[in-house]
Chains A and B, each alone.
Chain A
């Protein structure tokens, strides 16, 4: 009964390093999302995938890339990490993102960039 699984849970990087955050869901959901959470700013959408084979930019896409590997998996890549990308990253999924169905969230990846 895993739901949305994110790996790793914690990571420390040096400026300029690259890293991929992994997300997998076992609920057969069509839509998947990546958010970042910063104090006092709520959650901001980085990228989303409405369905397998599609990806679109959200509010804060700069410095990130995504891959919808298959229906279950949606990864987020930082090509050259910057201190401004220190944040908590959440992956979410939804049966059909355009309706009133709620999103289901993972427990987050806490990323620090030195």
Chain B
């Protein structure tokens, strides 16, 4: 089974600053990769997914993530943070043919005015 590591349980950024959330996975075989966002008292919503068509994946709300096989990473970025980006973000990974998703522990983003 995959394991997923999200570096940093909390990230605080200023409005307009770069948001960078880190995700590393364990498999040597490129898996399926996802980023989800969770707003308070809500379920998880898909931000973006890696489909193997391109290493740079664009998602909703201005987020993007880059798949780097050599680093087994799938870091999430947004060039300019907005107050509405305050939420918890989860990286998730599954192997091809596996029904199960493995989630990272999550990173909570706060945005300072």
| Residues of chain A with a CB closer than 8 A to B36's CB | 105
Of the candidates A43, A50, A102, A108, the one whose C-beta lies within 8 Å of that of B99 is: A50
User: Is the C-beta of A58 less than 8 angstroms from some C-beta in chain B?
Assistant: yes
Of the candidates A42, A98, A100, A104, the one whose C-beta lies within 8 Å of that of B103 is: A42
Interface residue range, chain B: 20 to 34
User: Is the C-beta of A7 less than 8 angstroms from some C-beta in chain B?
Assistant: no
Interface residue range, chain A: 20 to 34
User: Is the C-beta of A45 less than 8 angstroms from some C-beta in chain B?
Assistant: yes
Tell me the complex Cα distance, A97–B51, Å: 15
User: Is the C-beta of A87 less than 8 angstroms from some C-beta in chain B?
Assistant: no
| CB of A35, distance to nearest CB on chain B (Å) | 8
Contact of A102 with B46 in the complex, beta carbons under 8 Å: yes
Tell me the complex Cα distance, A87–B77, Å: 30
Contact of B43 with A41 in the complex, beta carbons under 8 Å: no
Given contacts A4-B43, A90-B43, A107-B43, contact A100 B32 (CB under 8 A): yes
Contact of B42 with A107 in the complex, beta carbons under 8 Å: yes
| Residues of chain A with a CB closer than 8 A to B106's CB | 40, 42
| CB of B109, distance to nearest CB on chain A (Å) | 15
Tell me the complex Cα distance, A102–B92, Å: 10
What residues of chain B have their CB less than 8 Å away from a CB belonging to chain A? 4, 9, 32, 34, 36, 41-46, 49-51, 90, 94, 96-101, 103-106
List 8 A–B pairs whose Cβ atoms lie within 8 Å, in order of A's numbering: A42-B4, A43-B90, A43-B103, A45-B101, A48-B100, A100-B50, A103-B44, A103-B101
